Amino acid sequence: MPTNVRISDISLYLRCPRLVYFETLGRMTRKSSAMQLLMRSLMLSLSQESDLESQLRETLHRLEEELPLVYEIEVAELGPACRELEDKMALIAQSLAGYIDYLVPFEPDVDLFSERLGLSGRLDRLAPGVTPSLIRSGRAPESGVWKRDRIAIAGYALLLGEMHKTRIDHGLVEYPNFGLIRKVQIHSVDRVRVLRIRDRIKQIKEGRLPERPNDAPCQRCLALEICETRQTLASRFF
Protein backbone atom coordinates (compact mmCIF):
# COMPACT_ATOMS: atom_id res chain seq x y z
CA MET A 1 0.00 0.00 0.00
CA PRO A 2 1.48 3.40 -0.97
CA THR A 3 2.77 5.51 1.91
CA ASN A 4 0.60 8.56 2.57
CA VAL A 5 2.26 11.77 3.75
CA ARG A 6 0.40 14.32 5.84
CA ILE A 7 0.99 18.03 5.46
CA SER A 8 1.79 18.07 9.17
CA ASP A 9 4.55 15.52 8.45
CA ILE A 10 6.07 18.06 6.06
CA SER A 11 6.04 20.76 8.76
CA LEU A 12 7.64 18.30 11.18
CA TYR A 13 10.28 17.37 8.58
CA LEU A 14 11.19 21.03 8.13
CA ARG A 15 11.85 21.27 11.87
CA CYS A 16 14.03 18.15 11.72
CA PRO A 17 13.71 15.05 9.48
CA ARG A 18 14.48 12.79 12.43
CA LEU A 19 11.29 13.86 14.16
CA VAL A 20 9.34 12.15 11.38
CA TYR A 21 11.44 9.00 11.85
CA PHE A 22 10.90 8.77 15.61
CA GLU A 23 7.20 9.56 15.33
CA THR A 24 6.83 6.78 12.75
CA LEU A 25 8.48 4.38 15.21
CA GLY A 26 6.01 5.43 17.88
CA ARG A 27 8.80 6.84 20.05
CA MET A 28 7.45 10.36 20.01
CA THR A 29 3.97 11.87 20.09
CA ARG A 30 2.89 15.37 19.20
CA LYS A 31 1.05 17.31 21.87
CA SER A 32 -0.55 20.72 21.49
CA SER A 33 0.04 23.27 24.24
CA ALA A 34 -2.80 25.02 26.05
CA MET A 35 -2.03 28.21 24.12
CA GLN A 36 -2.16 26.38 20.77
CA LEU A 37 -5.53 24.84 21.60
CA LEU A 38 -6.92 28.14 22.86
CA MET A 39 -5.76 30.21 19.90
CA ARG A 40 -7.05 27.72 17.36
CA SER A 41 -10.44 27.41 19.06
CA LEU A 42 -10.75 31.18 19.43
CA MET A 43 -9.97 31.83 15.78
CA LEU A 44 -12.45 29.19 14.65
CA SER A 45 -15.16 30.90 16.71
CA LEU A 46 -14.98 34.12 14.67
CA SER A 47 -18.11 35.56 13.11
CA GLN A 48 -19.01 38.88 11.54
CA GLU A 49 -20.54 40.25 14.72
CA SER A 50 -19.63 43.88 15.32
CA ASP A 51 -18.28 43.57 18.88
CA LEU A 52 -15.34 41.25 18.22
CA GLU A 53 -13.69 41.78 21.60
CA SER A 54 -16.79 40.75 23.56
CA GLN A 55 -17.24 37.76 21.27
CA LEU A 56 -13.68 36.58 21.87
CA ARG A 57 -13.80 37.15 25.63
CA GLU A 58 -17.04 35.20 25.94
CA THR A 59 -15.57 32.35 23.89
CA LEU A 60 -12.37 32.33 25.97
CA HIS A 61 -14.33 31.91 29.21
CA ARG A 62 -16.29 29.04 27.69
CA LEU A 63 -13.14 27.36 26.40
CA GLU A 64 -11.56 27.46 29.84
CA GLU A 65 -14.37 25.22 31.04
CA GLU A 66 -14.70 23.01 27.95
CA LEU A 67 -11.17 22.27 26.77
CA PRO A 68 -10.25 20.03 29.75
CA LEU A 69 -13.32 17.92 28.91
CA VAL A 70 -12.14 17.40 25.33
CA TYR A 71 -8.34 17.28 25.52
CA GLU A 72 -5.78 15.89 27.94
CA ILE A 73 -4.73 19.26 29.23
CA GLU A 74 -3.59 20.41 32.65
CA VAL A 75 -5.77 23.03 34.28
CA ALA A 76 -2.56 24.46 35.76
CA GLU A 77 -1.37 25.16 32.21
CA LEU A 78 -4.72 26.31 30.85
CA GLY A 79 -5.43 28.96 33.50
CA PRO A 80 -2.27 31.05 32.95
CA ALA A 81 -2.73 30.81 29.16
CA CYS A 82 -6.28 32.17 29.50
CA ARG A 83 -5.10 35.04 31.74
CA GLU A 84 -2.36 35.91 29.22
CA LEU A 85 -4.92 36.09 26.41
CA GLU A 86 -7.35 38.12 28.50
CA ASP A 87 -4.67 40.77 29.01
CA LYS A 88 -4.09 41.02 25.25
CA MET A 89 -7.66 40.55 24.06
CA ALA A 90 -8.43 44.20 23.32
CA LEU A 91 -5.34 44.54 21.13
CA ILE A 92 -5.94 41.20 19.39
CA ALA A 93 -9.57 42.05 18.63
CA GLN A 94 -8.67 45.53 17.36
CA SER A 95 -6.02 44.11 15.02
CA LEU A 96 -8.15 41.23 13.74
CA ALA A 97 -11.13 43.47 12.98
CA GLY A 98 -9.44 44.73 9.83
CA TYR A 99 -9.07 41.17 8.50
CA ILE A 100 -12.46 39.71 9.34
CA ASP A 101 -13.73 39.72 5.74
CA TYR A 102 -10.74 37.58 4.72
CA LEU A 103 -11.67 34.91 7.29
CA VAL A 104 -15.47 34.58 7.39
CA PRO A 105 -17.64 32.90 6.35
CA PHE A 106 -15.48 29.79 6.46
CA GLU A 107 -15.40 26.01 6.79
CA PRO A 108 -13.30 24.70 9.72
CA ASP A 109 -11.26 21.49 9.97
CA VAL A 110 -11.41 20.51 6.31
CA ASP A 111 -10.09 16.98 5.71
CA LEU A 112 -8.27 16.68 2.39
CA PHE A 113 -6.83 13.61 0.66
CA SER A 114 -5.32 12.78 -2.70
CA GLU A 115 -4.30 9.26 -3.61
CA ARG A 116 -2.66 10.57 -6.78
CA LEU A 117 -0.50 13.06 -4.87
CA GLY A 118 0.07 10.77 -1.90
CA LEU A 119 -0.84 13.66 0.40
CA SER A 120 -3.46 14.34 3.04
CA GLY A 121 -4.12 16.89 5.73
CA ARG A 122 -6.64 18.69 7.89
CA LEU A 123 -6.83 22.36 6.97
CA ASP A 124 -7.57 24.74 9.85
CA ARG A 125 -9.79 27.08 7.83
CA LEU A 126 -11.15 27.15 4.30
CA ALA A 127 -11.60 30.90 3.94
CA PRO A 128 -13.65 32.75 1.30
CA GLY A 129 -12.56 32.24 -2.30
CA VAL A 130 -11.31 28.67 -1.76
CA THR A 131 -8.44 30.09 0.30
CA PRO A 132 -6.43 27.78 2.58
CA SER A 133 -5.66 29.36 5.94
CA LEU A 134 -3.45 28.13 8.79
CA ILE A 135 -3.68 29.18 12.44
CA ARG A 136 -0.35 29.55 14.25
CA SER A 137 -0.08 30.35 17.95
CA GLY A 138 3.61 31.29 17.90
CA ARG A 139 5.31 34.54 17.04
CA ALA A 140 5.12 36.03 13.57
CA PRO A 141 8.19 36.91 11.50
CA GLU A 142 8.92 40.57 10.89
CA SER A 143 7.57 40.18 7.36
CA GLY A 144 5.98 37.39 5.35
CA VAL A 145 5.57 33.96 6.92
CA TRP A 146 7.86 31.24 8.22
CA LYS A 147 9.22 28.74 5.70
CA ARG A 148 7.29 25.86 7.32
CA ASP A 149 4.05 27.78 6.96
CA ARG A 150 4.73 28.71 3.33
CA ILE A 151 5.39 25.08 2.37
CA ALA A 152 2.37 23.85 4.34
CA ILE A 153 0.11 26.34 2.56
CA ALA A 154 1.49 25.15 -0.79
CA GLY A 155 0.66 21.56 0.19
CA TYR A 156 -2.92 22.44 1.05
CA ALA A 157 -3.17 24.45 -2.19
CA LEU A 158 -2.20 21.33 -4.15
CA LEU A 159 -4.89 19.28 -2.39
CA LEU A 160 -7.58 21.95 -2.75
CA GLY A 161 -6.62 22.56 -6.37
CA GLU A 162 -7.12 18.91 -7.22
CA MET A 163 -10.43 18.77 -5.36
CA HIS A 164 -11.86 21.90 -7.00
CA LYS A 165 -10.17 21.39 -10.40
CA THR A 166 -8.48 24.77 -10.21
CA ARG A 167 -5.15 26.37 -9.34
CA ILE A 168 -4.87 27.93 -5.89
CA ASP A 169 -2.32 30.75 -6.03
CA HIS A 170 -2.57 32.25 -2.55
CA GLY A 171 -3.32 31.37 1.04
CA LEU A 172 -3.36 32.91 4.51
CA VAL A 173 -1.40 32.37 7.71
CA GLU A 174 -3.00 33.63 10.91
CA TYR A 175 -0.80 34.76 13.79
CA PRO A 176 -3.59 35.71 16.22
CA ASN A 177 -1.30 36.27 19.21
CA PHE A 178 -0.13 39.33 17.31
CA GLY A 179 -3.43 40.08 15.58
CA LEU A 180 -1.82 39.46 12.19
CA ILE A 181 -3.08 37.78 9.03
CA ARG A 182 -0.42 37.35 6.37
CA LYS A 183 -1.25 36.64 2.73
CA VAL A 184 0.99 34.10 1.00
CA GLN A 185 1.57 34.02 -2.74
CA ILE A 186 2.10 30.39 -3.74
CA HIS A 187 4.78 29.87 -6.38
CA SER A 188 5.63 26.83 -8.47
CA VAL A 189 8.85 26.35 -6.52
CA ASP A 190 6.78 25.95 -3.33
CA ARG A 191 4.70 23.21 -4.93
CA VAL A 192 7.86 21.46 -6.13
CA ARG A 193 9.30 21.57 -2.59
CA VAL A 194 6.17 19.95 -1.22
CA LEU A 195 6.48 17.02 -3.62
CA ARG A 196 10.23 16.68 -3.09
CA ILE A 197 9.84 16.60 0.71
CA ARG A 198 6.93 14.17 0.33
CA ASP A 199 9.28 11.73 -1.41
CA ARG A 200 11.91 12.07 1.33
CA ILE A 201 9.31 11.49 4.03
CA LYS A 202 8.12 8.34 2.29
CA GLN A 203 11.66 6.97 2.52
CA ILE A 204 11.81 7.85 6.23
CA LYS A 205 8.45 6.20 6.94
CA GLU A 206 9.73 3.08 5.19
CA GLY A 207 12.60 2.85 7.70
CA ARG A 208 15.41 5.10 6.50
CA LEU A 209 17.06 7.05 9.33
CA PRO A 210 17.83 10.55 8.02
CA GLU A 211 20.86 12.62 8.93
CA ARG A 212 20.40 15.15 11.70
CA PRO A 213 20.77 18.68 10.25
CA ASN A 214 23.43 20.94 11.75
CA ASP A 215 20.77 23.54 12.51
CA ALA A 216 18.30 21.09 14.10
CA PRO A 217 16.46 22.66 17.10
CA CYS A 218 17.74 20.06 19.59
CA GLN A 219 17.06 22.08 22.74
CA ARG A 220 13.77 21.04 24.34
CA CYS A 221 13.27 18.39 21.63
CA LEU A 222 11.03 15.52 22.76
CA ALA A 223 13.21 13.04 20.85
CA LEU A 224 16.58 14.32 22.03
CA GLU A 225 17.50 11.34 24.24
CA ILE A 226 16.69 8.62 21.71
CA CYS A 227 18.20 10.68 18.87
CA GLU A 228 21.53 11.00 20.70
CA THR A 229 21.44 7.26 21.48
CA ARG A 230 20.96 6.43 17.78
CA GLN A 231 23.74 8.87 16.87
CA THR A 232 26.12 7.16 19.30
CA LEU A 233 25.24 3.66 18.08
CA ALA A 234 25.66 4.66 14.44
CA SER A 235 29.11 6.16 15.11
CA ARG A 236 30.34 2.80 16.44
CA PHE A 237 29.83 1.21 13.05
CA PHE A 238 31.58 3.87 10.96
Q: Where do the domains of the chain lie?
A: 5-27+104-230, 34-101
pLDDT at residue 237, rounded to an integer = 37
pLDDT at residue 234, rounded to an integer = 45
CA atoms of 224 and 145, how far apart (whole Å): 27
What whole-number percentage of the chain has pLDDT above 70?
95
Question: What is the Cα 54 distance to its own chain's centre?
Answer: 27
* H helix runs in the chain, sequence order: 7-15, 17-24, 34-43, 52-70, 75-96, 100-103, 147-164, 188-205, 224-235
In the DSSP assignment, the letter for residue 223 is: T
Q: Does domain 5-27+104-230 have CATH number 3.90.320.10?
A: yes
pLDDT at residue 112, rounded to an integer = 97
Please say if the pLDDT value at position 220 is more than 90: no
Which string of DSSP letters, residue by residue, matches 55-105? HHHHHHHHHHHHHHHHS---HHHHHHHHHHHHHHHHHHHHHHGGGHHHH-S
Q: Mean pLDDT, to the nearest integer, of 16-36?
A: 86
Q: Mean pLDDT, to the nearest integer, of 96-122?
A: 95
- Return the closest-CA partner of residue 117 out of 147, 155, 164, 149: 155
What whole-number percentage of the chain has pLDDT above 90?
71
Mean pLDDT of the chain: 90
Using the CB atoms, write b or e for 223-233: b if 16+ within 10 Å.
beebbeebeee
For the segment 88-99, what is each residue's pLDDT rounded down to a tens digit?
A: 999 999 999 999
Q: Mean pLDDT, to the nearest integer, of 152-166?
A: 96
CA atoms of 95 and 78, how far apart (whole Å): 24
Q: Which amino acid is at 87?
A: D
CA atoms of 46 and 165, how far apart (whole Å): 29
- Omega into 105 within 30° of 0, i.e. cis? yes
pLDDT at residue 83, rounded to an integer = 95
pLDDT at residue 223, rounded to an integer = 78
Please say if the pLDDT value at position 222 is more than 80: no
Q: Mean pLDDT, to the nearest integer, of 190-198?
A: 97
CA atoms of 135 and 173, how far apart (whole Å): 6
User: Quick one: which H or E segment has residue 114?
Assistant: strand 107-114
Band of residue 74 on the pLDDT scale cut at 50, 70, 90: confident
Using the CB atoms, write b or e for 45-67: b if 16+ within 10 Å.
ebeeeeebeebbbebbeebbeeb
pLDDT at residue 194, rounded to an integer = 98
